């Protein structure tokens, strides 16, 4: 598979990028205006689901700007990504951490101090060696109800303003220098403050925050399923390849057509991890092209929405059996040992 030729066929386009961005900003601004215009009635609350989905699409574009693939121009990608990050209350520097995720997804014992799976924090053996209190605390914060709602929202809105800086200072984790990371955080704080001033209403601010939380919740559920399924892809550092990380370690989620509009190609995550320089608006075409030309595409991991629901309970990596398991399975295994 020639990734260079694949990129040339599906590379970024100014026309497609600005066409999609214009439509998206039109829908987002219209929804915000409708929310503001109906702020004295309960009608404004009915706009939360639509605003949440639009925030989701904003995040996908924001994320592709971080991969420098939304437009062919690096400066434009940075400007668009920074602006969208303000609407999402998340600094652009999040993308620097996400870049490390692409270098380590499925890679065991990597040298970048990054988990091989972002949403799997412990192995079965680590869980088995915990005391009762530690196990209980782990089950609470890693429960699907807390981990997919408050945790990601806190992470994206609050912690990433400091965590990227700390990781840079302590581990030297990112190629971007400290000044750039600090500048991204300052820009986002200023922009988010101006956004709050613009809303200038407690009810509007509440609706906006609820829509952000809802968006991050659903997007995090999808993100978990992009890499957490059985059989897992876990490879030693020297055996790991970017192509395998995509085709074996990333899923193709079967989203409903109406929902795929808001995910902007993110369901084709196997393509994205194999070659992240292809923009979201071309991922479907790239998948369909490779499906016809590459035999190995017959074996990619396809997940239905039902599969995605069941995978939410996968919380530990069982090294002995090379599979992800739930806390319930782990407790039964410990009991029967």
Cβ atoms < 10 Å from Cβ of 303:
22
Closest to 94 (Cα-Cα) out of 112, 81, 80:
81
pLDDT in tens, the chain (337 residues): 678 888 999 999 999 999 999 999 999 999 999 988 888 888 889 999 999 999 999 999 999 999 999 999 999 999 999 999 999 999 999 999 999 999 999 998 877 778 889 999 999 999 999 999 999 999 999 999 999 999 999 999 989 888 898 888 888 888 899 999 999 999 999 998 888 887 777 778 889 999 999 999 999 999 999 999 999 999 887 889 989 999 999 999 999 999 999 999 999 999 999 999 999 999 999 999 998 888 888 889 999 999 999 999 999 999 999 999 999 999 999 998 7
As beta bridge partners, residue 107 has 235
| pLDDT at residue 172, rounded to an integer | 82
- The token pair at 297 is 């595409």
- What domain count does the chain have? 1
Distance CA 163, CA 116 (A): 18
| pLDDT at residue 236, rounded to an integer | 83
Q: What is the DSSP letter of 325?
A: E
* Most distant CA pair in the chain, distance: 62
Task: Look up the domain containing 309 and give its range.
Answer: 3-336
Distance CA 335, CA 337 (A): 6
| pLDDT at residue 229, rounded to an integer | 96
Q: What is the DSSP letter of 159?
A: I
Q: Are strands 235-236 and 316-318 parallel, antiparallel or unpaired?
A: unpaired
Burial code (b: 16+ CB inside 10 Å, e: under 16) for 159-186 equals ebbeebbebbeeeebbebeeebbebbbe
Q: What is the DSSP secondary-structure string of 66-127?
A: HTT-SSS-HHHHHHHHHHHHHHHT--TTHHHHHHHHHHHTTEET-TTS--SSTT--EEHHHH
Q: What is the DSSP secondary-structure string of 122-134?
A: EEHHHHHTS-HHH
- pTM (2 decimals)? 0.93
| 28: CB partners within 8 A, 6+ apart | 54, 58, 87
- The token pair at 238 is 């020297």
Closest to 324 (Cα-Cα) out of 247, 227, 239:
227
Distance CA 247, CA 52 (A): 30
Angle between helices 14-37 and 48-66 (to 10 degrees): 150
As beta bridge partners, residue 316 has 122, 325
């Amino acid at each position: 598979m020639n990734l260079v030729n694949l990129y040339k066929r599906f590379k970024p386009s100014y026309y497609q990028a600005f066409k999609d961005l214009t439509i998206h900003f039109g829908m987002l601004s219209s929804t915000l205006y409708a929310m503001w215009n109906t702020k004295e009635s309960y009608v404004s609350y009915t706009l939360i689901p639509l605003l949440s989905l639009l925030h989701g699409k904003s995040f996908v574009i924001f994320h592709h700007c971080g991969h420098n693939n939304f437009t062919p121009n690096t400066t434009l990608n940075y400007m668009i990504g920074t602006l969208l990050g303000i609407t999402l209350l998340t600094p652009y520097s999040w993308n620097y951490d996400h870049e490390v995720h692409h270098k380590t997804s499925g890679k065991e014992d990597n040298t970048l101090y990054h988990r091989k799976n972002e949403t799997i924090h412990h192995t079965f053996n680590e869980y088995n060696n915990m005391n009762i209190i530690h196990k209980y605390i782990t089950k609470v914060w890693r429960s699907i109800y807390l981990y997919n709602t408050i945790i990601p929202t806190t992470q994206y809105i609050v912690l990433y303003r400091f965590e990227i800086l700390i990781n840079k200072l302590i581990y030297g984790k990112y190629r971007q220098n400290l000044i750039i990371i600090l500048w991204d955080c300052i820009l986002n704080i200023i922009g988010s403050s101006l956004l709050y001033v613009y809303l200038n209403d407690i009810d509007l601010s509440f609706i906006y925050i609820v829509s952000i939380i809802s968006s991050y919740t659903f997007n995090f559920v999808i993100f978990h399923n992009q890499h957490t399924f059985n059989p897992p892809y876990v490879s030693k550092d020297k055996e790991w390849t970017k192509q395998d990380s995509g085709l074996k370690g990333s899923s193709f989620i079967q989203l409903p057509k109406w929902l795929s509009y808001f995910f902007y190609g993110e369901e084709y995550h196997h393509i994205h991890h194999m070659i992240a320089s292809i923009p979201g608006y071309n991922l479907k075409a790239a998948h369909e092209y490779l499906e016809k030309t590459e035999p190995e595409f017959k074996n990619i991991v396809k997940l239905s929405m039902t599969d995605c629901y069941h995978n939410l309970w996968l919380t530990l990596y069982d090294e002995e059996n090379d599979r992800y398991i739930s806390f319930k399975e782990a407790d039964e295994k410990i009991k029967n040992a």
